[in-house]
């Protein structure tokens, strides 16, 4: 037995199951856009949480701090929701 031969026999792909290069490039582009959207959503959430924590730590009034932190988190959630809805449409 040759060491070059694969351990599993290769299954031939039916001609109707093969994808064209245009389809594959569209699929790759769609995956790239999805990765970019997920990355931007993570950055939005991280910035929102970081800014909320900075506001909570830096400000003396807890009620004002809570309002500002809540507002920042709402803006981040709205941004994520808009990005998600834009990706679906």
Query: What whole-number percentage of the chain has pLDDT above 90?
Result: 3
Between 34 and 65, the higher pLDDT residue: 34
Question: Could you report the per-residue pLDDT of 23-38, keeping only the tens digit for each?
Answer: 888 989 999 988 888 8
Q: Does 6 score more than 70 pLDDT? A: no
Between 34 and 87, the higher pLDDT residue: 34
Question: Could you report the per-residue pLDDT of 8-23, keeping only the tens digit for each?
Answer: 656 565 556 677 888 8
Question: Could you tell me the CA-to-CA distances from 24 to 21, 50, 82, 87 in Å, in that order?
Answer: 5, 39, 28, 20
Please provide the DSSP assignment of 11-30 as one string: PPPPGGGPPPHHHHHHHHHH
Measured distance CA(51)–CA(53) in Å, rounded: 5
Tell me the pLDDT of the chain averaged across its residues: 78
């Amino acid at each position: 037995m040759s060491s070059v031969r694969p351990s599993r026999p290769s299954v031939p792909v039916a001609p109707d199951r093969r994808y064209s290069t245009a389809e594959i490039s569209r699929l790759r582009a769609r995956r790239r856009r999805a990765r970019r959207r997920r990355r931007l959503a993570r950055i939005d959430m991280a910035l929102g949480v970081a800014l909320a924590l900075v506001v909570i730590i830096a400000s003396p009034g807890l009620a004002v701090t809570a309002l500002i932190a809540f507002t920042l988190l709402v803006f981040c959630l709205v941004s994520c929701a808009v990005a998600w809805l834009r990706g679906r449409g």
